Amino acid sequence: MTTIFKRILVGVDDSEDALLAFRYAIQQAKRDDAELVIVSVLEADKMNIYEALDKDYIHGEFDELEEHVREYQKAAESAGVADVRMMVAEGEPGETIVKDVIPDVKPDLLIIGSLAKKGVSRHFGSQAAYMAKYAPISVMVVRH
């Protein structure tokens, strides 16, 4: 018996793993005729203190990220996913997705790459490990 998912959440950043997860999410959404929700998280702790205090800087970064996620949305729509929406959140990716995004979006599957930014934690990413452990829904971690 195959599980049919109704709403799939995919977390994206610029890693190869995230692109792989995104491609997988597109296929899964098409197969299940599911809604696809694409999320990316603006990480404030990656900014220096001056950037973090500069509201214009944060606003600019947020807009830039939103534009970037919109490209993912267009790609999913051109690939044939009928129902796609996107969102940008702020904070620590794992915690934000588990504590804020999932309760808000109510997906039945989360697909993520290992979300390891270059050099940060190249082995199974700590963000991915956190989500796999604490998400109240099924989590698929796609690795490159």
Domains in the chain (CATH in brackets) are 20-142 (3.40.50.620)
pLDDT bracket for residue 122 (50, 70, 90)? very low
**Calpha distance 63→52 (Å, rounded):** 15
pLDDT bracket for residue 48 (50, 70, 90)? low
Give the pLDDT of residue 125.
65
Backbone Cα Rg of the chain: 15
Taking 50 as the threshold, does the pLDDT of residue 15 lie above it?
Answer: yes
Which contiguous run of DSSP H or E holds residue 37? strand 35-42
Give the pLDDT of residue 123.
46
Mean pLDDT of 68-97: 95
Give the pLDDT of residue 3.
86
Residue-averaged pLDDT of the chain: 87
**Calpha distance 52→134 (Å, rounded):** 28
* Of residues 81, 75, 74, 87, the one with CA closest to residue 37: 87
pLDDT bracket for residue 117 (50, 70, 90)? low
**Calpha distance 3→127 (Å, rounded):** 26
